[in-house]
Structure 1
């Protein structure tokens, strides 16, 4: 073999050895690093596309606190950096206290302000350094052009919407949160359970027959019996009445919400009356119920409504169909429980085997770190 041929063969062997070494090194790196993580691509309920490198580790949560906790599961609070506190502590103070007792880290969360009081602060949001801001559609609309400042700081904004009160938006919002948090299996289970509960409710209502829909009156129980509180012509409790096959006496009387004329309520002769109640302990005349509230106090605050002028002759009052229902019982992943309670009032035979209180307790036991300690739906029994 000539010297030239020998040098060529040696060079080829060296090149092969270097290539083999690179291949081995590449496999070693892949073995050490594990499989490459694909980007997480999320399309939120506003159709906005967001790409995350990994599940969120620091979250700003604007609303839907219990839904976020249920979807994220254990460690949900550890992954929160900031909240809009007014929408939790302000609206549901005793619910907030129950979570605070179970999860003390909640006290350390940054409060970024709220939309209602015009205090939601871009500066506070940026300073909290979240990876992702999970906000309601209304909160994003409030931020407007300021949302660009948040995104410019490297914070992804994701929109969710349980306020729309549609199965589609409930399911989509649940799946979005699950994808952002890396808990897609848990989110899928919750979304399927919600869909199934609503489907079952609708099937029972259809089976009961739509003819002669019972007439329903819902009133916000903050002001007490001396002044008529808001009713709902569209959205909120109006959406629940529509879902369960009731005839809403406020439909066409108020655009969204507002008080009805007392004479009109009497003339409409509702078959069932629901006064919404919550942990409004600072309102002396409000109907109160919920976490840690004695049901006797709920009945005490509700009973004077029956003494309003003209109410004694209403079918709902004569037949003992007057109820208190938790005002926070709409626009959440377990709002089907309250819909089923209302449906059972309207169509008792179709829902004879349904126990909404037990369903609420089961939802909490399976998905949340606290128990629903208190009454969240009750009937004012005649003479009670």
Structure 2
């Protein structure tokens, strides 16, 4: 596989810096690495890191994909649920350190990991977490692994921390190949002709602000060639006024679903019913999306958390089916499940099918 492709033009770099420094000491076998994490914090770690407590629920899956699942010694309750569902093979006996927002610090100390990895801005925020773990000498690194703008950089840094540099480069190239295809073809679609997208979460009229990096959904929409319906709003999540949605007149509507998971769906029934509910909302009957039938029910297995990396493929194909007639997002996703996670390639992720 070719080495990592150059990060494409839509990538907007944040304060995250992918620069690392190695150091060693005379008479000592241990090597260290100094990194700048996604919260802009400088952190020194042993190299390679051999034991990780993952408060960030995106980290375990990415570590498995990099062939480093055996380095995970602690996970949060939300991750344990995925383990029990069989979605994170190899982590069945890993210790649970409590809820990600209220971890058991004594339990973490007992595990004595080389590092704890947390989100850059979700509670407890990295500095708060570090203060709690300082008495135990345990460093904290912030990585998000859901923001399209810095996703490749974060995977590269995770690979560097774990001593899995080549695996990270190969993994990034696997995904970047699809992004390069999308970006190349999007160049033929002028900005003024890009389609406007309303993406609704699980809750009724729950959507996402596009003015900040937020939850990552707006960045995923932009990466797929769309325009977010609420680009001026900074809130991670908010409840939209349905009349305002109608007035803004989206070209395409996506309705997300988290349960049942797309991986466990055997047919399209749940997604089809969900789409029909959106299509039948009276005040949206005159929107371009509904009139043209461009309303999709989509699983968060393909568009949430670290799976946002697949979202641009689904969005690009839904928005511009003729431009991306040969793009097969579901096939790419199931290839990932099989090749990187060791899972059976199965599931239904979007309706109508692309």
Q: Same fold per TM (> 0.5)?
A: yes
- In the alignment, structure 1 residue 245 sits paired with structure 2 residue 225: yes
Q: Provide the rounded CA distance (Å) in 1 between the counterparts of 2:191 and 2:47.
A: 49
Please identify runs of 4+ aligned residues in structure 1 that moved more than 6 A: none
Matched ranges for 1:1-384 at <5 A: 39-45=31-37, 46-63=39-56, 64=58, 65-71=60-66, 73=67, 76-86=68-78, 88-89=79-80, 93=82, 97-99=85-87, 102-103=89-90, 105-115=91-101, 119-139=102-122, 142=125, 144-166=127-149, 169-223=150-204, 228-234=205-211, 235=214, 236-252=216-232, 255-279=235-259, 288-294=260-266, 295-330=268-303, 335-379=308-352
Aligned residues: 320
CA distance in 1, matches of 2:277, 2:46: 57
Give the structure with the larger helix fraction.
1
Shift of 1:273: 0.7
Structure 2 unaligned segments of length 5 or more: list them.
1-27
Following superposition, the deviation at residue 351 of structure 1 comes to: 0.9
SS of the aligned residue for 2:255 comes to strand
TM-score by length of 2: 0.79
- Contact persistence 2:209–2:218 (CA under 8 A): yes
Post-superposition CA distance 1:14-67 (Å, at most 9, x none): xxxxxxxxxxxxxxxxxxxxxx96614141324444444442332101221211
In 2, Cα distance between equivalents of 1:150 and 1:242: 38
- Change over 3 Å in CA distance of 1:195–1:131 after alignment to 2: same
- 8 Å Cα contact 2:262-2:301 kept in structure 1: no
Q: For the Cα contact (< 8 Å) 1:303–1:380, is it kept in 2?
A: no
Work out the CA distance in 2 between the residues paired with 1:267 and 1:47.
40
* Residues in 2 aligned to 1:344 and 1:124: alpha-carbon distance in whole angstroms: 45
Q: Larger deviation: 182-191 or 156-165?
A: 156-165
Q: CA deviation at 1:276?
A: 0.8
Q: Distance in 1 between matches of 2:282 and 2:132?
A: 55
Question: Which stretches in structure 1 are left out of the alignment for 5+ residues?
Answer: 1-35, 280-287
CA-to-aligned-CA distance 1:213-255 (integer Å, 9 cap, x gap): 22211111334xxxx2334434422112222332322223674
**Counterpart contact for 1:58–1:81, Cα < 8 Å:** yes
Compared CA separation, residues 141 and 296, structure 1 to 2 (3 A): same
Provide the secondary structure at the position in 2 that maps to 1:161. Answer: coil
Q: Which moved more, 1:191-200 or 1:338-347?
A: 191-200
Q: Distance in 1 between matches of 2:261 and 2:231?
A: 26
Q: TM-score with structure 1 length normalisation? A: 0.74
Distance 2:235 2:151 in 1: 23
Shift of 1:367: 1.4
Q: Deviations over 1:95-116 (max 9, x none)?
A: 751236x43x42442223222x
Counterparts of 1:140 and 1:265, CA distance in 2: 31
